[in-house]
Structure 1
Amino acid sequence: MKLLESTRFEAINNALCIKTGDSKIIGRIESYSCKMAGNDKQLYKRFNAEQGVTPHDLQALSPPQTSLGTSPAQSYFSISGDEDGPLCDTISRKTLFYLIATLNSAFHPDYDFSDAKSHEFSKEPSLQWVMNSVDSNLSATAGDHYRTLRSALWAAVEDEISMSECDIYSYNPDLASDPFGEDGCLWSFNYFFYNKKLKRIVFVTCRAINPLYSLDSGVGSDFAMDEDEDDSY
């Protein structure tokens, strides 16, 4: 997956590194091209060969986070016709590869998501729900700082990806696989805006951590704020 440079996203990413009295917020937005280069093509062939499936085979996704009382395992088996399991969304192997490749690019070299399974992802029910979720987390934690940033953030995403034309997915792994599953993480989210026509994914990822925990090691340290920076905005 090729990272598409964006000065607008870079400016927003700088603004998404926020220190408050109760937490540190570390967020970023990145755009990736889904046009496969040589290395991606080789990884994609291996990805399908290891599972013995075709690119058009469908995989079961977990229900979105709005669904209550449903486990990933229940969702995973419902695709095979299990009447006791809930209905669930599905994803093609090719789109699943794009999501996994985006994670690998975004968190390289700290994490390898090559073994991620479809039931660690969800298809979100609506653009408005995703926007509300992002706004709610960031407004509750960053307050006025986020409210002044919000319009520029969503305008930049819209101009890059045309959000109404996107399928939106989230990554919701177990704690052992979660790159944000470290001690002190208060909340996190990982959203993929996939525009099939543009062959592009915008990845929106963010977490809030307890400031008592250090960011000296682990993924995301490159996005940590300098302890000596001015806290005023």
Structure 2
Amino acid sequence: MKLLENSRFEQINSALNMQLETSRIEGRIESYSCKMAGNDKKLFKLISQEGGVGPLDLQALSPPQTVLSHSPTKPYSKSFGSVESEGYLCDTIPTKTLFYLISTLNASFNPDYDFSNAKSEEFSKEPSIEWVVNTVDTELNAAAGELFAGLKQTLWAAIDEEINLQDCEIYSYNPDLISDPFGEEGSIWSFNYFFYNKKLKRIVFFTCRAYSVSAPYNCDSGIGQDSEMFDYSDNMEFSQEDLSME
């Protein structure tokens, strides 16, 4: 996976690092090409051999945590699968796409974490763009209020420009506490979303966490502490209607 330069993302990433009264927020958006490098080829071979699967073989995912937490009694329509978990049929993912997600994590959190042994059940496929946008906006609005309100439209416009959200499949990474890079003491919440555009062969990775100011600072998250202020004056209009799946 190759990190693609994006000056708008760099500005937004500065703004996603916020010092609040009782918590700190650290976030970043990164764009990656799905073109395999030398180490990627080794990892893909390892994943395929370990599971005895081909690149198009399907592996089971876990139900999205957002769906389970917001609609625990509402059936979630799945496109494939027969494994049930709390009444939900499991989504699936091709081995090659799973490899892209794992490689993105390795590239983003290198060298502090190695996700090569991550399993498919640590990932979920999100039901829609609207669902993810609403979940992210709700989380950051509750935590940062006006600080995020001034950034929101620019953030989603930049992601859409880079990856074309209408053509994306969206996945999330939901590890156990042992595997979670944001699972240290003082962590309040975190999310990790992958916007995968198969046509462009590109992934935009959006990772963010909040942790208590009383907790010791841990820089191993891989998220930098850039204090440069972001200029909100050139925000672009990007409404929920723009995200319509019609």
Q: Same fold (TM over 0.5)?
A: yes
Distance in 1 (alpha carbons) for counterparts of 2:60 and 2:144: 35
Alignment of 1:68-217 (within 5 A): 79=81, 86-217=88-219
Distance in 1 (alpha carbons) for counterparts of 2:85 and 2:183: 33
Return closer, same or farther for 1:51/1:183 CA change in 2, 3 Å cut-off.
same
| 1:190-220 residue CA offsets vs partner (Å, 9 max, x unmatched) | 0000000000000000000101112245323
- Report the AA paired with residue 35 of structure 1: K
Q: CA deviation at 1:36?
A: 1.1
Q: Secondary structure at the match of 2:101?
A: helix
User: Is the CA contact 2:32–2:204 (under 8 Å) kept in the aligned structure 1?
Assistant: yes
| 1:90-132 residue CA offsets vs partner (Å, 9 max, x unmatched) | 0000000000000000000111001100010000001001001
Q: Secondary structure at the match of 2:89?
A: coil
Q: CA deviation at 1:149?
A: 0.5
User: Is the CA contact 1:215–1:224 (under 8 Å) kept in the aligned structure 2?
Assistant: no
Mark the runs of 5 or more structure 1 residues left unpaired by the alignment: 71-77
- Report the AA paired with residue 68 of structure 2: S
Q: CA deviation at 1:44?
A: 1.2
Return closer, same or farther for 1:82/1:135 CA change in 2, 3 Å cut-off.
closer
User: Is the CA contact 2:83–2:90 (under 8 Å) kept in the aligned structure 1?
Assistant: no
Return closer, same or farther for 1:33/1:83 CA change in 2, 3 Å cut-off.
closer
User: Is the CA contact 2:59–2:94 (under 8 Å) kept in the aligned structure 1?
Assistant: yes
Mark the runs of 5 or more structure 2 residues left unpaired by the alignment: 74-79, 233-246
Name whichever of 93-102 and 48-57 sits farther off.
48-57
For residue 51 of structure 2, what is the aligned residue in structure 1? 51
Q: CA deviation at 1:43?
A: 2.1
What is the TM-score of this pair, normalised by structure 2?
0.84
Distance in 1 (alpha carbons) for counterparts of 2:168 and 2:84: 30
Aligned residues: CA RMSD:
2.3
Distance in 1 (alpha carbons) for counterparts of 2:85 and 2:208: 37
**Count of residues paired in the alignment:** 221
Distance in 2 (alpha carbons) for counterparts of 1:4 and 1:67: 33
What is the TM-score of this pair, normalised by structure 1?
0.88
User: Is the CA contact 1:24–1:209 (under 8 Å) kept in the aligned structure 2?
Assistant: yes
Q: Secondary structure at the match of 2:184?
A: coil
Q: Secondary structure at the match of 1:27?
A: strand
Distance in 2 (alpha carbons) for counterparts of 1:126 and 1:82: 21
User: Is the CA contact 2:54–2:95 (under 8 Å) kept in the aligned structure 1?
Assistant: yes
Return closer, same or farther for 1:99/1:216 CA change in 2, 3 Å cut-off.
closer
For residue 39 of structure 1, what is the aligned residue in structure 2? 39
| 1:148-174 residue CA offsets vs partner (Å, 9 max, x unmatched) | 011110010000000011000000011
For residue 26 of structure 2, what is the aligned residue in structure 1? 26
Name whichever of 149-158 and 79-88 sits farther off.
79-88
Return closer, same or farther for 1:84/1:161 CA change in 2, 3 Å cut-off.
closer
User: Is the CA contact 2:194–2:203 (under 8 Å) kept in the aligned structure 1?
Assistant: yes
Distance in 1 (alpha carbons) for counterparts of 2:121 and 2:177: 14
- Report the AA paired with residue 38 of structure 2: G
Q: CA deviation at 1:87?
A: 1.2
User: Is the CA contact 1:121–1:170 (under 8 Å) kept in the aligned structure 2?
Assistant: yes
Q: CA deviation at 1:35?
A: 1.2
Does 2:8 match 1:8?
A: yes
- Report the AA paired with residue 165 of structure 1: D
